[in-house]
Amino acid sequence: METTNGIYNKELYDLIQPKCVLMWQRAQVANFGAREGSEWVDLFGRQNSGTYNNQWMVLDVQRLQQCGSDVLWVLEQVPGRTISKDVTKVLLEQGYWASYNVPYFPEIYNLTGYPQPSIYSTCPRARIFSREQVGLSSRADVMSLMRLNRYINDPLSLGLPNNAIAARYDLPAVPDADGQPRNFTQRAYGAVDAKVVDLESFQERRTYVINGPTSDDQPVFRWSAEPLFDTIQHEGCVDEFDFGWRSYESVVGPPMLQSAPGGEGPRPRVALQIRLERRHGFTRDIGPTIGTIGVGMATVF
């Protein structure tokens, strides 16, 4: 699972390698060739093209009950460099892992030239997520969280519709305390969908998805409702994105769990989700769930 990171340091583009293996090819090779997270990030990091630079999250479902090392690996890529690390300790300490389109590793963050206040641990979306993840206990809870955008009344959003879990750049910003316009430009951009999987549906090859910008607490997105978007090409798209959640089941591909060498039992080929809840000194598994947002953020519980 990945979340895209931007490149603000234009000098990095000089390091893009035309003789390379593109991102989607390396991801497929790692998906089908790796048996654990450390092997996945090693395979993916080879022949780095420097294009489509993301934070990748690889979680080993088979290690969930052990809660030791190598449960969750994270890799971040920029032109000329990848950094990866086992972040299981972070996952277990805070009970979740979330990604906000901001680099986690300081070296990658500094190389990409991210502007303030876009800092991984303190950006508005990180603060909102930290507040909202408390008490999540079901797939439905995660679905609601992935579509959350209450920027008008949420003080952590700072009056901006992009400072929300499901960002919507198409909406207008709230004027500041003096009634003056904020430095914000509306555009057809943001979270365009969401996908949620828990352990049960993962084993069934089932994914829960919803299409379109969030309308849980905001108006339904309509191309015709905003003259600013008249020049944006959207031939073939519906005018109104008013859809509900649907589930889809994959009917192709290798078994989700395969035997590992040495009699270790089944091992997932591609690893995904977890959420652990700590209460009164013990850890309780409350239904491993993963949620992702298109052009938004990816989250592991």
Given a cut of 50, whether residue 281 has pLDDT beyond it is no
| Residue span of the structural domain in which 190 resides | 2-300
Instruction: Report residue 216 as tokens.
Output: 């849980």
Structurally, the chain folds into a number of domains equal to 1
Return the number of other C-beta atoms located less than 10 Å from residue 177's C-beta. 7
Quick: pLDDT tens for 191-246: 999 999 988 898 899 999 999 999 999 999 999 998 999 999 999 999 999 999 99
Report d(CA 155, CA 158) in Å as an integer. Answer: 6
> What are the φ/ψ torsions at residue 249 (nearest 5 degrees)?
-115, 130
Using pLDDT thresholds of 50, 70 and 90, give the confidence band for residue 294. low
- Give the pLDDT band (50/70/90) at residue 11: very high
Residue range 83-105: mean pLDDT, rounded: 95
SS3 for the chain is: CEEECCCCCHHHHHHCCCCCCCHHHHHHHHHHHCCCHHHHHHHHHCCCCCCCCEEEEEECHHHCCCCCCCCEEEEEEECCEEEEEECHHHHHHHCCEEECCCCCCHHHHHHHCCCCCCCCCCCHHHHHHHHHCCCCCCHHHHHHHHCCCCCCCCHHHCCCCCCCCCCECCCCCCCCCCCCCCCCCCCCCECCEEEEEEHHHHHCCEEEEEECCCCCCCCCCEHHHCHHHCCCCCCCCCCECCCCCEEEECCCCCCCEEECHHHCCEEECCCCCCCEEEECCEEEECCCEEEEEECCCEEEC
% of residues, the chain, pLDDT over 90: 73
> How far is residue 191 from each of residues 1, 52, 97, 287, 297, measured CA to CA in Å?
16, 17, 19, 25, 8
Provide the CATH number for the domain around residue 44.
Answer: 3.60.60.20
**Mean pLDDT lowest among 30-34, 61-65, 163-167:** 61-65
For 57-84, how does the pLDDT look when each residue is reduced to its tens digit (9 = 90+)?
Answer: 999 988 887 778 999 999 999 999 999 9
pLDDT for res 271: 32
pLDDT band, very low/low/confident/very high, at 273 (cuts 50, 70, 90): very low
- Average of pLDDT values for 171-191? 95
Q: How many residues does the chain have?
A: 301
Pairing of strands 2-4, 54-59: antiparallel
